[in-house]
A and B are shown apart, each in its own frame.
Chain A
Amino acid sequence: DGGITQSPKYLFRKEGQNVTLSCEQNLNHDAMYWYRQDPGQGLRLIYYSQIVNDFQKGDIAEGYSVSREKKESFPLTVTSAQKNPTAFYLCASSMGRLAGAGLYNEQFFGPGTRLTVL
Chain B
Amino acid sequence: GQQLNQSPQSMFIQEGEDVSMNCTSSSIFNTWLWYKQDPGEGPVLLIALYKAGELTSNGRLTAQFGITRKDSFLNISASIPSDVGIYFCAGMVGNTGKLIFGQGTTLQVKP
Q: Which A positions have Cβ atoms within 8 angstroms of B?
A: 4, 6, 31, 33, 40-45, 48, 50, 58-59, 88, 90, 92, 94, 96-97, 101-102, 104-112, 114
Q: How many residues of B contact A (CB 8 A)?
A: 26
A109 engages B42 (CB within 8 Å): yes
Q: Quick check: B42 and A31 within 8 Å, CB to CB?
A: no
B73 beta carbon closer than 8 Å to chain A: no
Q: How far is the CA of A41 from the CA of B4 in the complex (A)?
A: 12
* Contact digits for B34-54, partner A, Cβ 8 Å, 1 yes 0 no: 010000111111001010000
Q: Which of A31, A33, A58, A105 contacts B48 (CB 8 A)?
A: A105
> Is B101 a contact of A102 with CB atoms below 8 Å?
no
14 additional A-B residue pairs with CB within 8 Å, beyond A31-B97, A41-B103, A90-B42: A33-B97, A42-B6, A45-B99, A50-B97, A59-B1, A92-B42, A101-B30, A102-B50, A106-B33, A106-B48, A107-B99, A108-B45, A109-B43, A112-B42
Q: Residues of B contacting A90 with CB < 8 Å?
A: 42-43
> Does any Cβ of A come within 8 Å of B76's Cβ?
no
Q: Which residues of B contact A (CB under 8 A)?
A: 1, 4, 6, 30-31, 33, 35, 40-45, 48, 50, 88, 90, 92, 95, 97-99, 101-104
Which of A6, A96, A112 is the most central at the interface, judged by chain B CB atoms within 10 Å of its CB? Answer: A112
- Which residues of A lie under 8 Å from residue B40 when comparing CB positions? 88, 112, 114
Name the CB-closest residue of A to B98: A45
Bound Cα distance A41, B43 (Å): 13
* Chain B residues in 8 Å Cβ range of A58: 98
Chain B residues near A102 (CB-CB < 8 A): 31, 48, 50
Chain B residues whose CB sits within 8 angstroms of the CB of A33 once the complex forms:
97
Q: What A residues does B99 contact at CB under 8 A?
A: 43, 45, 105, 107
